[in-house]
Amino acid sequence: MKFKALSLAISAIFSTNTLAEGTKHDLPPMIVSADFRPAIALETPVSLTTIGEEVIEARNAQHIEEVLNLAPNVNVSSGASRGQYYQIRGIGERSQFNAPLNPSVGLIIDGVDFSRTGGAGTLFDVESVEILRGPQGTKFGTNALAGTINLRSKEPTEEFQVHAEAGLAEYNTHNLGLAVGGALIENSLLGRASIYTHQSDGYMDNDFLGRDNTQNQDEVTAKGKLKWLAAKNLTVDLSYLHLNIDNGYDAFTLDNSRNSLSDDPGEDKQRTNALALKADWQPNDAVIIQTEATYAKSDITYSYDVDWGFDGQFAPGLFPFIGFDQFDRERGPDGKDRQDGTHNRVAKQAAKAKTMRLDPFGTGGQGGCIDCAEGHINGCENQPAHGAVLAPVQGKPYAPDAKNDGDAPRAPAHDHEQRCGDRSTHAAQPVLHGRVG
């Protein structure tokens, strides 16, 4: 009996293996477009992760921040209304920088470079998100030294298609989207258009102002695509993207709760119009000639309450820090940032007129002067060199010794008492250095 039971068990094992071999399922190949030419993902010589529309819809993802955690070695930092600072393999931005710089992780949307403007990564009517790890400078330049995130919207098709979606959620969250596509001229011109709006009051409550929408999200995305089938071996694509993002930023609390006490909540805004024109010509099976031209213009405002509190929250003897920072950026068609500088608004209310501090980035908008609430911000004479700091006790600026600090310039003497009167009425404040986080 034991021998018979063993024979039956061995027979069952072999029959199971035979059944498994006979029920193979061939998965459809995944096409990647982030390389110079479309290719099957398994044949693309790069470390990549592709997130398709099925995953995006299953997660009900509204923004790229909600799907990037599926990719290994990819991190997202917030520091804004959304997670819009990306790192790949530990390299990349973690927060807003004062001066424009080339990011290490590029963000490409339908061929347009949106690096350093991660708020643009909305996901309605997006076909795939491709994350390429490792240097991609050959195609994307200096903005992709650590990798690239490539968003590809759905392409127009010959068949008429309509897609609509709506959603409701907590925190007064609601969204509505509509996409329509099909043939405009049969076998010649295809088109697709979509519009999507997402609104939410956010998860923060501002107890000081009595508001529940200081961390709100108000986003409108509109897209349009035309595909001209000029010949069997020539196609011309035109893409348009409009973004109107009007979000709030009031996310930090001293007790790590969801109840803010900020008296001057920040903003995270973006207005963008972008165009991309691409032509593909394939004279034979071995050669593809591709030309691409893009245009994008963005106006971006990023601001926040530096002290994340209100006047009178702490006793004057504790020398409370008070301030507000705002970054206004304009990104032109040449892809370069033009930033007006850091606007440090210290005197947010008349009651704060006895507060002064140094511009934390040494710019002050006009050269790095001590900001004073008496009304002459950036008006002091003998402005210190960039990098000068304010000694918290004496209230005097300090410059590093040029002998001990390479070529660092020595700041000239700056007698703040001559401009502001009695120094005892100005509580010297701790100084913030570095970048905004």
- DSSP per position, 209-232: TTBS-TT-EEEEEEEEEEEEEEET
Q: 197 lies in a domain?
A: no
Looking at residue 179, what is its pLDDT? 98
Is the pLDDT at 412 greater than 50? The verdict is: no
Yes or no: say if 290 and 39 are a contact pair by the CB < 8 Å rule: no
The C-alpha atoms of residue 7 and residue 270 are separated, in whole angstroms, by 72
What is the band of 97 on the pLDDT scale with cuts at 50, 70, 90? low
Q: 294 lies in a domain?
A: no
**Residue predicted with more confidence, 290 or 179:** 179
The C-alpha atoms of residue 355 and residue 138 are separated, in whole angstroms, by 51
**Residue predicted with more confidence, 108 or 36:** 108
Looking at residue 251, what is its pLDDT? 92
Is the pLDDT at 330 greater than 90? The verdict is: no
**Residue predicted with more confidence, 268 or 345:** 268
Separation of CA 151 from chain center:
13
Looking at residue 95, what is its pLDDT? 78
Q: 303 lies in a domain?
A: no
Grouping H, G, I as helix, E, B as strand and the rest as coil, residue 263 is coil
What does DSSP assign to residue 63?
Answer: B
**Which of 84-93, 184-193, 406-415 is predicted with the least confidence, judged by mean pLDDT?**
406-415
Looking at residue 23, what is its pLDDT? 54
Across the range 368-381, mean pLDDT stands at 36
Q: Which amino acid is at 98?
A: N
Looking at residue 11, what is its pLDDT? 52
pLDDT 10s digits, 139-166: 888 888 899 999 999 999 999 999 999 9
Q: 245 lies in a domain?
A: no
The C-alpha atoms of residue 123 and residue 198 are separated, in whole angstroms, by 11
Q: State both tokens at 362.
A: 């040494």
What does DSSP assign to residue 256?
Answer: S
Q: Which of 99, 125, 153 is the last residue of a domain?
A: 153
What is the band of 316 on the pLDDT scale with cuts at 50, 70, 90? confident
Q: 164 lies in a domain?
A: no
Q: State both tokens at 217.
A: 């999200």
Range among 77-91, 221-235, 302-316, 338-352 with highest mean pLDDT value: 221-235
Domain membership of residue 53 as a residue range: 30-153
Q: Which of 153, 173, 188 is the last residue of a domain?
A: 153
pLDDT 10s digits, 45-86: 678 899 999 999 999 999 999 999 999 999 998 888 998 889
Is the pLDDT at 259 greater than 70? The verdict is: yes
Looking at residue 254, what is its pLDDT? 87
Looking at residue 8, what is its pLDDT? 46
Across the range 123-133, mean pLDDT stands at 94
Q: Which of 153, 186, 205 is the last residue of a domain?
A: 153
Is the pLDDT at 415 greater than 50? The verdict is: no
Is the pLDDT at 391 greater than 80? The verdict is: no
**Which of 45-54, 137-146, 328-337, 346-355 is predicted with the least confidence, judged by mean pLDDT?**
346-355
Domain count, the chain: 2
pTM beyond cutoff 0.75: no
Looking at residue 379, what is its pLDDT? 37
What does DSSP assign to residue 385?
Answer: P
Is the pLDDT at 352 greater than 50? The verdict is: no
CATH code for the domain in which residue 130 is found: 2.170.130.10
Q: 301 lies in a domain?
A: no
**Residue predicted with more confidence, 31 or 208:** 208
Q: 109 lies in a domain?
A: yes
Q: 229 lies in a domain?
A: no
pLDDT 10s digits, 277-301: 999 999 998 888 989 999 999 999 9
Mean pLDDT of the chain, nearest integer: 75
What is the band of 381 on the pLDDT scale with cuts at 50, 70, 90? very low
Range among 81-95, 148-162, 372-386, 390-404 with highest mean pLDDT value: 148-162
Across the range 204-215, mean pLDDT stands at 96
User: Measured between alpha carbons, how far apart are the two ends of the chain, in Å?
Assistant: 74
**What strand order describes the sheet that includes 105-109?**
47-52, 126-133, 147-153, 105-109, 112-113
Is the pLDDT at 384 greater than 70? The verdict is: no
Across the range 185-190, mean pLDDT stands at 94
Across the range 235-262, mean pLDDT stands at 95
